[in-house]
Structure 1
Amino acid sequence: MTNAVPRLGVTFIPAIEPERLRDFARVAESSGLDEIWLWEDCFKESGVASAAAALAWTERIHVGVGLMPAPLRNVALTAMEIATMARLFPGRVIAGVGHGVQDWMEQVGARAGSPMTLLEEYSVALRALLDGESVSTRGRYVRLDDVTLDWPPAERVPLMLGGEGPKSIRLAARLGDGNLLPSAVGDDDVRRTRDLIAQEIGGDRAASHDVVVPKIAATGDGAQRRVDAELARWEKPADAGIGVAGDANTIAAEVRRLADLGATSVAITPTEDEPDLLGFVEFVGRDVTPLLAR
């Protein structure tokens, strides 16, 4: 679909202890990667606290949270947190919001009767607050009365939206700056997402709309075994082309292929049992990145 070189990032999965984030972030930046992606999974690690720390420990790299669960968070609080990070670290914050895993939302008493309605109301209000507008709304879920951020971001913060179903993908295309795909997706998922984006917004907007694709990957001894085990944890078949195992050329070829399918950013995701996490991050930055321009 495109010959552009995608942005390349790495994912700090919440199966990794929080205290390992500092070295992870610093190695990601020093290795020349474009982005770090963090998850706000229940009941593991706070995406916002982790993002703020990663931003403070680095100077250049972009940091994204994907995804903050809308049912769990008051939209005004989320706007305040994103705006504060954006003011402290201008131009480096990427915000991501989604439905949340419904079983987890049920556990905390926050499950919405209509996740689609909630995400639409939430994303519209969040975008307006981040843009410095005064927001009053009486929706089914989002209710604000003349709320304005005192310190909105000085420049626009990209707002990524997530979701797997066609309605969620279309909503993200219409209201977000990009679609963030879930982990463990295959080629058909990427194609379908791009097709739905084109149907929803069409033309130049669709061509410039961001699509972030996570990619489970491993290298070195036992790489394929680790990828297969990771896919089993996601209840995905090992032969579905969802993960990639191999050397720098193999992984770079996979990233370029995803770009041809429509990915504008690829977030390489290590396996839970990666034996050399920092070495893997350095490998992605220093060995894979230079191959992407070929």
Structure 2
Amino acid sequence: MTSEHRAGGAATLGIELTPEHPPERVADLAAFAEDEGFDVVFASSHYFNRDPFVVLSRMADATDEIRLGPGVVNPYETHPVRLAAQTATIDERSDGRGVFGIGAGDRSSLSNLGIERDRPLRRVLETFDLARDLWAGETVTHEGTFTARDAALNFEPPSGRLPVYVGAQGPHMLRMSAKHADGVLINAAHPRDLEWAAGQIERGLAERPDERGAFESLAFASVSVAGDESEAREAARPPVAFIVGGAAEPVLERHDIDRGAAKAVSEALERGALPEAFGHVTPKMIDAFCLAGTTETVADRFGAALEHVDGIVVGSPLGPALEDAITRASEAFARATEA
């Protein structure tokens, strides 16, 4: 799939900033990313980190043009009506720059909270359908995977209709996003995975109503870039461990990942033995699940990824030094997209 699916044709460069740092620090990073030419910033949402909407409010104050939103929230920890109101608040706070990144959430993290991830595809679709109605000023009653009765917002976001990006990895969620959403955040970094995902998205686009307008596919990719290749790859170990721990068997098969090593990673994560889990990460795992290396290496990897998507969201860990990694990622993207 190429950029013909999105308006304008230019590839999108996004970044994921994780609220593992204080809101002021993350807002400063968002401002720095804006200066480095990034188009959109997503604040990731995990119960053990700081609240993404508080951080996004600080980002809105610190930036002028970059689009921003949660990436991604799930409709299990927070009621969908509340998510619609929170995201609309960010849109208002940023003078219409808000985007809505919504996904089913991580099954293991939700289980930590005693939450069952029931009917994820249907719940995600119902959530952003309802959000769109609320943003349009409608009063909504809904009975489905969740209940809302006579729900309405007493303000309207400046955007009117915020762009909805669905976090997706499996075939059904990918196809649903292409049929109903404004974009997709593909949880993958390797061209082999992105090519497979593009095929699923094409099937969804074949059923997409014309009135839904342009659709944008973004690789939500783990990236680790530094001046030193080995330092970049070492910094990739933690996120790669968590990716491996949640990877489906077909994904492991696609990359010929050693199952014993993958099992060792998963078991260590389940015990909370993080250093041990990170130590079990193999070079092949890093190659499969992270775009890691020097600026030149990552530029080549970006170019390969962009054969299948409309843009890239530079995701955790970014690199061993955050500002340096942001600059290098921007440079790598420029090299990958230059005519």
Deviation (angstroms), 1:181: 1.8
Q: Is the 8 A contact 2:16 2:41 kept in 1?
A: yes
Q: CA deviation at 1:96?
A: 0.9
Match of 1:108 in 2: 113
Is residue 2:321 matched to residue 1:276?
A: yes
Partners of 1:242 and 1:179 in 2: CA distance: 18
Q: Matched residues in 2 for 1:208 and 1:178: separation?
A: 8
Q: TM-score by structure 2 length? A: 0.76
Structure 1 residues without counterparts, runs of 5 or longer: none
1:59-208 to structure 2, matched below 5 A, reads 59-139=64-144, 141-155=145-159, 156-182=161-187, 184-202=188-206, 208=214
1:223 maps to which residue?
232
- Tell me how far apart the structure 1 counterparts of residues 151 and 317 of structure 2 sit (CA, whole Å): 42
Alignment partner of 1:33 is 2:38: yes
Deviation for aligned residue 1:39 = 0.8
**Aligned equivalent of 2:220:** 214
The one-letter code matched in structure 2 to 1:223 is A
Preserved CA contact (<8 Å) 1:228 1:238? no
1:251 aligns with 2:298: yes
Deviation at 1:68, TM superposition (A): 0.5
2: distance between equivalents of 1:219 and 1:258? 19
2:311 alignment counterpart: 265
Whether 1:50 and 2:55 are equivalent positions in the alignment is yes
Distance 1:231 1:47 in 2: 22
Are the counterparts in 2 of residues 5 and 256 from structure 1 also a CA contact under 8 Å? no
Query: Given that residues 239 and 316 in structure 2 are in contact (C-alpha distance below 8 angstroms), is that contact kept between their aligned partners in structure 1?
Result: no
Question: TM-score, normalized by length of structure 1?
Answer: 0.86
| In 2, Cα distance between equivalents of 1:102 and 1:241 | 22
Pick from 228, 236, 243 the counterpart of residue 234 of structure 1: 243
Determine the structure 1 residue equivalent to 2:2. 2
Gaps of 5+ in 2: 4-8, 245-280
Q: Give the CA RMSD over aligned residues.
A: 2.6
> Alpha carbons of 1:116 and 1:214: their partners in 2 closer, same or farther (altered >3 Å)?
closer
Contact 1:211/1:265, CA 8 A, preserved across alignment: yes
Helix, strand or coil at the partner of 1:68 = coil
Change (3 A) 1:181 1:10: same
Amino acid at match of 2:140: V
Q: Does 1:288 align with 2:295?
A: no
Q: Distance between the aligned counterparts of 1:207 and 1:77, measured in 2?
A: 26
Percent sequence identity is 21
Higher deviation after alignment, 66-75 or 204-213: 204-213
The one-letter code of the counterpart of 1:198 is E
1:20-55 deviation per Cα after TM superposition (whole angstroms, max 9, x unaligned)? 213211211122221222210122122222212111
Per-residue CA deviation, residues 140-178 of structure 1 (Å, 9 max, x unaligned), is x32222222221223221011123221222222222111
Q: CA deviation at 1:15?
A: 4.3
CA distance in 1, matches of 2:150, 2:174: 30
* Paired residue total: 289
Q: Distance in 2 between matches of 1:228 and 1:144?
A: 42
Native 8 Å contact 2:243 2:289 kept in 1: no
Tell which has more relative contact order, 1 or 2 (C-alpha 8 A, sep 6+): 1
Partner secondary structure for residue 184 of structure 2? strand
Deviation at 1:229, TM superposition (A): 5.7
Q: How far did residue 108 of structure 1 move?
A: 2.5
